[in-house]
Structure 1
Amino acid sequence: MTEGINVLAAMVLHYPQTVEGGNRSVWRMQHPAFAAAGQIEWEGDSLDWQTDESWQAAPAKDIRMHGSCPDTSRLVIQEEARGDASLQGWRLPGYDAAGWQSAAVYPKGAFLPTVSPAFQRKRSIPFLFEEKRPLHVFRAVQGDAAGWAALLEKSEPLTLPAHSEAVVELAAGRLMTAYLTLRVQGGRGSVIQWMPAEGYVQPRDGGASKGDRLDWQHGVLTGPTDRYEVGGFGAADDRLARQAIDSFARSQRADGLLNACYPAYKPNVIPGFSIYYILMLHDHMMYFGDKDLVERYFPVAERILQFYEDLREPDGLVGRMPGAGGFGGGYWCFVDWAKGWPVGVPPAAACGPAAIDSLMYCLGLGAAAELAEFVGRQDQAAACRSRAEALRCAVRSRCAGRDGLLQDGPGLEQYSQHVQVFGVLTGTLTGQKARAALEQTLDDPDIPQCTVAMGFYLFRALEQCGLYHRTFRLWDKWRRMLDNHLTTCVESDGSYTRSDCHGWGALALHELPSAILGVRPAKPGYASAAFKPAAGAWTHAAGEVVTPRGIIRAQWDVADGKLTKNIRLPEGMVLAEETDDF
């Protein structure tokens, strides 16, 4: 026991009931069972404990015990296991066992008398002696002998190349009963096989004879084989994302909006950030396809959308936000640290309805429609899409400005790159009008430009309009970060960057795999993958993309104006047909 929180946990093995299933010396039960009791003592105090209904249990569905090796099945039980992400860390404090069930107590007479827990007796002999002992490399049949030696003798990490095979024969130094452990990270779907053997045997006349147990030149190793399929949890790990999704949900107020940061000891409400929460749920759906998570948090999204719907005016636009001039009414209507925008709020917001609010609401409705559809709420999906179309029509009608641009507010000769970007992303601006609006804002420095904070949405709009090549110079903001010896991304452009480490500056984490390499989920949970590079000014990209279903390996090249693509998908994943709507 250690100071702080401790966990009592056990894995219960339910052996095959048939004797032929392995190891005849092990009693079989009709049902899996676990009975234990003990006492914890500390500083003159003690606590008695026992297994009862207060314990929680869950089946380990991906572990199978069997005795398929005919020569040794009467002596041993073999194991096959696949990594199960839902059980990762189940023996550690902080593990979320919300999906587990309370343990059940079997009624009297449920077991045969010979194996009933009621007939168990205290062990009369000491437990076998145990000690931790490293193995050493006896022979590397295929693979890096030095690397394996460093792993086993010095605990140095060993990386196996993708799609490679290693065969290593290890020695314990003496014959013993051993329980082998191996920690792995990544490598989802890789197979590890252990075959314990007493020593080398020499094949002879259809059988085998035993001589020098170390004579590998003339002998072979034989024995039962345990098989393990790597879960790859070190790769597609969404625990941090889940924690963020849950924390923000806990911050929801009576009006439906979320706190901009949480936990927090006082309110800090930025209405647009609540729309980002819906987009975050949508991102998680696309990458992980977790219907339970979407079902659990979709009501949070509904209340956010209702806040915006309640502000709709008769002309269809979202009305003036409380505190829209900056701070006030408990809200900070921040959009971006754009030049000329006091405290990050567009001046149009102080005059009445701001187009950016209607467009962000429209974007949230589009994401919510796909979330609702994913969990079978077709009527809600249709309602969200209907509202979104009404908003698009209202913005086109009330905010049409000069040269095909959308105004920052109805009737106001104020324009920003931001409104054009969200006009493109919501489908309010389409086709050549969308392309022209973006190019005009890129070429006119007097129009407020998207800063680092809005880089993600600007890049998405440029990609959508076939203008991704224009991002090459926009990366200068990040190049300057490197020139200034930053190792993290800043919050804002200009000489005063505010924070030197800000999440919304980490644009490259998305652009490199999803846009430039061009690999992203086409259907929820990566049921299918899209491979559509936004080549822009680049002529080559190659890389690996981690997904919950395994690693995708992709490469593309441009030569003589021709794009050549190659992609390798994990087993069971399909490549979506290439269209223009990914």
Structure 2
Amino acid sequence: MALNWTQSAQWIWTPGYHEEDNQPGRYFLFRKRFHWPGTDNIKELPVHVSADSRYRLFVNGRRVSFGPCKSYMERWHFETVDILPYLVKGENVLSARVLRYSSIMAGSSSILSTELPGFLLHCEIEWNFILGPPFLSNNERTKESSQLTGWESSDFDDSAWKDAVLQFRPVKMLPIQSPWKLAPRPIPELPEVHGRFNGAVKCQGTVAKEQWTSFLKEDRVIEIPSGQTITVDIDCESLTTAFVTLQCSGGKGSTVTLLYSECYEKDLGVETAPFPMPRSKSNRADISNGRLYGMKDIYTVADGQAEHTFEPFWFRAFRYIQVQITTTEEPLILKTFTFRETFYPLDILTDVHADTELDEIWKISLRTLQNCRHETYEDCPFYEQNQFASDSRLQMLFSYQISSDDKLARKTLQEFHASQGPDGLIKAQFPAGFRSKQIPQFSLYWVAMVYDHMHYFADVSFARRYLATVDGILNHFDERITNLGLVGRFDEDTWPFIDWVPEWFVPGKIFESCMPRAYTSTGMATFNSLLYIVALMQAAEVCNFVGRRDTAVEYSARADDLRKAVNKHCFEKGIYTDGPSTQEYSQHSQIFAILSEAVTGDAAQDLMLRALEDKTLAQCSYSMQFYLFRAVEKVDLYTKLFPSLMAPWRQMIADNLTTWAEHANNARSDCHGWSASPVHEIVTQVFGVSPAQPGFKRVRIAPRMELLETAHGKFVTPAGDVSIAWTKENLEVKVSADLEAEIVIGESVSVQRFEGGKEVVFARK
């Protein structure tokens, strides 16, 4: 479809608007009445809609779309929605609630705002828009008014509302473009799946816990008498990302506070503090001794109208919600409290069953990934919702192992590619609502994204598109090679983050933390050179794949030179130091020495065992567990060490987590995508399904049957599905399409040509 309309469609806003009011976010209401004749010969009525910053669109009071899909300034997305199913013959109304984040005040770190606010709704059938008076609120505090009740519906009286104004007027003869370069939404609409809370876990006040549970599960109305304060803690089956909706009536002057929390944790004795306090989490469901901490929405009933609803604009992340209600002049009637779960609708086709703890680990891993996957990949849904390159690399890879849908991955690769600066680096965090601190090493994880996509999908043109970006990243690191042949210091305004390691923490100086002291003192951290080597190895493979063999040779030569430098200056007494001429040591340097092939063979295996046994080494956090597994795999110790390496996930289950935490040493996020690495381990190692050649032109099937007595699973690949099952006696392999497979059973390797639907049974050795 031609997109000429994107140049002519008009953006509108309120007259007399000013952002210089110290408000990080404000709401604006738009509505337009129109008559619909009920024409039978129209089968659909698509409209295009977008806003700066976010919108929720209604037709006759029914929710039909929210967006725009997150992206960056040069690719401002719009949604296309068919509104015909929502229209009625006669009077209709289109309405929108728009949240504008200020472009001069801190708002949301993952949602962008241009210099102009705006709302756009375009259809080939022309109409004008009416703008209502501002509804002053942010995401946390709302004061309801009967004057706005039912503003989304067609029978609302909008005669006092002012006309909107055009936001951008092109100038003749000048090539000035609109701030918003529109592009169609590249991913599916996010679902909103109706859900119910489990019930109340504890409460204070005149309403009993059983009443709360009946209210939550069966919509049994609750009346909170006037002059009362009640509190109830409500739980969900697992940590969830959802829109919450509270429907009420009456209650003039009442205040409802919703506190969203990931878990119960140690009571610090205070609700808020002017400085960070050390938090402590163990049993996340310790209702008796723990306390809920989190973010709040505050809803004040101004007029006590017959019916009113509170629904925060953006989705919330929660496992528990604490509701505190204070009534004043009249009773507040609670009618329903529900949620609509939302997430990127990945079509998950991989399914595994082991009848062991791995089943629970698998389930929690999928839930973790789902909560960290919306319009972008997110580091965590509760605190940041930011798309970081290092986190996203892992989340994308795990997604490839459970689904053949790579649309969100392609969007992510494109977004980071578009963020590349003149120094060659991509933004570590992107899209971003403000200029964030650069983390140079995260650009190397983006190289791994290109490498991973090549292996799973073998799209030559897609890989070739990003090679110039790869070249720029690698050249940035090459320009920092010191006279020792190692990667040296990055620009002063960067944060050379490696991992959350207690030994690397500098109190009060976060941007000097998370890297070994060797970097601070010498400007050289062994890890940075080793990670660069791994990226060069991956880039060389991509270059060979697309036919750029000379560049592959160049990158391999760079890697060889770096290995020699690392072994000369950062290796002594059988172990790698964290920098030249230092006595600091970490698991990180040993792991990436193995992955970069700075050390190989028996020496690598000995080093891996030492790295795991020597507890004086700085230990990897959860973010690095994936790479720890890869090093163990590379030195052929995987089967031996797998049970012990799963200890962090067993401990999280023992601590009653329903999603995987950010890391063990920090009590912040209880849902973090990088911790879902068991997906990769179960698919590619336990069941042993991985691409032997890019795009699964040959699939490798190498189940580690010694880890499980019996197991079965179905695995999606771009070349067809693979089913694997084994018992004490046999291994059964079945494929859904013509496929060449490399079957590994113990020390035996054979290549089989499968025809679609064929099943082969092997004797288990």
Does TM, normalized by the shorter one, top 0.5? yes
1:40-51 paired onto structure 2 within 5 Å? 40-42=125-127
Over 3 Å counting, the alpha-carbon distance change for 1:317 and 1:574 in structure 2 is same
Gaps of at least 5 residues in structure 1 are 10-37, 45-91, 97-184, 189-233, 323-328
% identity of equivalent residues: 35
TM-score (norm 2): 0.45
Equivalent position of 2:714 in the other structure:
544
1:503, 1:475 → 2: CA distance? 17
1-structure distance, mates of 2:748, 2:503 = 36
Determine if the alignment matches structure 1 residue 248 to structure 2 residue 416: yes
Q: Quick one: structure 1 residues 331 and 571, their matched pair in 2 at CA, closer, same or farther if it must change by over 3 Å?
A: same
Question: Are the structure 2 counterparts of residues 263 and 427 from structure 1 closer, same or farther at C-alpha, using a change threshold of 3 Å?
Answer: same
User: Hey, what's the Cα distance between the residues in 2 that align with 1:580 and 1:506?
Assistant: 31
TM-score norm. by structure 1 comes to 0.58
Q: Deviations over 1:117-165 (max 9, x none)?
A: xxxxxxxxxxxxxxxxxxxxxxxxxxxxxxxxxxxxxxxxxxxxxxxxx
The residue correspondences of 1:28-107 to structure 2 (distance < 5 A) are 40-42=125-127, 94-95=185-186
Q: 1:399 is aligned with what amino acid?
A: C
Contact in 2 for aligned 1:321/1:349 (Cα 8 Å): no
Quote the offset at 1:539 in angstroms: 3.9
Report the counterpart of residue 532 of structure 2 in structure 1. 361
Higher strand proportion? 2
* Structure 2 residue 482 is the aligned partner of structure 1 residue 313: yes
Of 323, 330, 333, the match for 2:493: 330
Q: Provide the alpha-carbon RMSD of the alignment.
A: 3.0
Q: Secondary structure at the match of 1:287?
A: helix
**In 1, are the aligned partners of 2:688 and 2:703 still within 8 Å (CA)?**
yes
The 3-state SS of whatever aligns with 2:449 is: helix
Q: CA deviation at 1:364?
A: 0.1
Going from structure 1 to structure 2, the CA distance change for 1:285 and 1:313 (only over 3 Å counts) comes to same
Match for 1:395: what amino acid?
A: V
- CA positional deviation for 1:255: 1.1
What amino acid maps onto 1:292 in structure 2? S
Alignment counterpart, residue 583 of structure 2, candidates 413, 416, 419: 413
1:576 partner amino acid: E
Q: CA deviation at 1:282?
A: 0.7
Partner of 1:454: 624
Contact kept in structure 1, 2:482 and 2:488, CA below 8 Å: yes
Provide the secondary structure at the position in 2 that maps to 1:445. Answer: coil
Q: Is the partner of 1:550 in helix, strand or coil?
A: coil
Q: Which amino acid aligns with 1:497?
A: A
Question: Is the CA contact 2:48–2:81 (under 8 Å) kept in the aligned structure 1?
Answer: no
Alpha carbons of structure 1 residues 340 and 39: separation in structure 2 relative to 1, 3 Å: closer
- 1:508 maps to a residue whose letter is P
CA distance in 2, matches of 1:457, 1:255: 27
Where does residue 485 of structure 1 map in the other structure?
656
Query: What SS does the aligned partner of 1:271 have?
Result: coil
Change (3 A) 1:442 1:294: same
> Structure 1 CA distance, aligned partners of 2:348 and 2:500?
39
Pair 1:239 & 2:407 matched: yes
Aligned AA (1:466): D
CA contact (8 A) 1:421 1:438 kept: yes
Q: CA deviation at 1:8?
A: 11
Deviations 1:180-234 (A, max 9, x none): xxxxx7889xxxxxxxxxxxxxxxxxxxxxxxxxxxxxxxxxxxxxxxxxxxxx9
SS in 2 for 1:576: strand
1:477 and 1:8, CA in 2 relative to 1: closer, same or farther beyond 3 A?
closer
* 2:94 alignment counterpart: none
Matches within 5 A, 1:487-506: 487-494=658-665, 496-506=666-676
> By how many angstroms is 1:3 displaced?
5.1
C-alpha displacement at 1:542, in angstroms? Answer: 2.3
2:684 is the counterpart of 1:514: yes
- Checking the alignment, whether the CA contact within 8 Å between 1:338 and 1:448 is kept in structure 2 is yes
2:737 aligns to what? 571
Mapping 1:263-274, distance limit 5 Å: 263-264=431-432, 265-274=434-443
Do the aligned partners of residues 572 and 310 (structure 1) sit closer, same or farther apart at CA in structure 2, a change above 3 Å counting?
same
Distance 1:571 1:485, change over 3 A: same
Q: Work out the CA distance in 1 between the residues paired with 2:731 and 2:580.
A: 46
The separation in 1 between residues aligned to 2:126 and 2:445, in whole angstroms, is 50
Give the aligned length: 363
Q: In 2 relative to 1, CA 499–186 (structure 1 residues): closer, same or farther, beyond 3 Å?
A: closer
For residues 348 and 435 of structure 2, the distance between their equivalents in structure 1, rounded to whole angstroms, comes to: 40
- Give matches, 1:103-252, under 5 Å: 235-252=403-420
Q: 1:436 aligns with which of 600, 606, 610?
A: 606
Given residue 450 of structure 1, which amino acid in structure 2 is its aligned partner? C
Verify the 8 A CA contact 1:522 1:529 in the aligned structure 2: yes
Match of 2:427 among 259, 266, 288: 259
Tell me, which stretches of 5 or more residues in structure 2 are unaligned? 1-44, 50-78, 83-122, 130-182, 188-346, 351-401, 506-512, 750-765
Task: Work out the CA distance in 2 between the residues paired with 1:465 and 1:286.
Answer: 21
Deviates more, 1:296-305 or 1:570-579: 570-579
1:461 is displaced (CA, Å) by 0.5
Query: Greater CA deviation, 376-385 or 405-414?
Result: 405-414
Q: Deviations over 1:20-59 (max 9, x none)?
A: xxxxxxxxxxxxxxxxxx9724469xxxxxxxxxxxxxxx
Partner of 1:61: none
Would the aligned equivalents of 1:489 and 1:505 in 2 still touch at CA under 8 Å?
yes
Please say if residues 336 and 454 of structure 1, whose CA atoms lie closer than 8 Å, have aligned partners that are also in contact: yes
| CA shift digits 1:362-391 (9 cap, x unpaired) | 000000001111111010111111111111
Q: Which of 316, 337, 341 lines up with 2:504 in the alignment?
A: 341
Rounded to whole Å, the distance in 1 between the matches of 2:625 and 2:515 is 17
SS, match of residue 547 in structure 1? coil
- Give 1:558 shift: 6.5
Distance 1:289 1:486, change over 3 A: same
Distance 1:517 1:269 in 2: 38
Per the TM alignment, residue 451 of structure 1 is displaced from its structure 2 partner at its CA by 1.4
